[in-house]
Structure 1
Amino acid sequence: MSYCPIDHTLDDVQRKLEEQKAFLRDDLYKKSVIFLQQKQSQLVLNELFHLLKKYDLVTETERKVRHQGFEQLLK
């Protein structure tokens, strides 16, 4: 993911996750919810936020790339 100077709070990330829920695979949504119940670093919160950002608008090719990002982050 590209660098962003904005630090996203846990609330920001949770809100973005809920906004994109209808567009995410069910397993990615559930893993993300569980993942966010654990304490995460600011870097990880930012990365997850950007994986979710405009997820509903990306191409199928970009979704595949983001799925790989989710899998790496959530493992």
Structure 2
Amino acid sequence: MSECKLDHSQEDVISKYESQAAFLPEEMKELFNQFFTKDHTQNILNEVFHLLKKYDLASAEEQNERNNRLYLVLKNV
């Protein structure tokens, strides 16, 4: 994934999540619900946004890698 210089708001991340939720593992959804109840640093918001971006178009292997990174973030914030 290429690095983006844009900062993404929590609303951007929520919107991106909603557009990709159908493609994410079911057990991840509750973690996202908890994630969205808290404030997060800009770096965390940007990382989650980019892990979700075009998730549906990623290969199964790429989705697995993104899932691992998402779980790390979601379980540790």
Runs (4+) of structure 1 moved beyond 2 Å? none
- Aligned-residue Cα RMSD (Å) equals 1.1
Q: Provide the C-alpha distance between the structure 2 equivalents of 1:59 and 1:8, rounded to a whole number of angstroms.
A: 24
TM-score (norm 1): 0.92
Matched with 2:30 is 30
Matched with 1:18 is 18
SS at match of 2:27: helix
**Structure 1 residue 60 corresponds to structure 2 residue 60:** yes
Matched with 1:3 is 3
Q: What are structure 1's unaligned runs of at least 5 residues?
A: none
Deviation at 1:47, TM superposition (A): 0.4
2:24 alignment partner AA: L
SS at match of 1:4: coil
Q: What are structure 2's unaligned runs of at least 5 residues?
A: none
Q: Give aligned-pair identity as a percent.
A: 41
Instruction: String of CA shifts for 1:12-50, please: whole Å, max 9, x gaps.
Output: 000000000110111112211211211101100000000
**Which of the pair is proportionally richer in helix?**
1
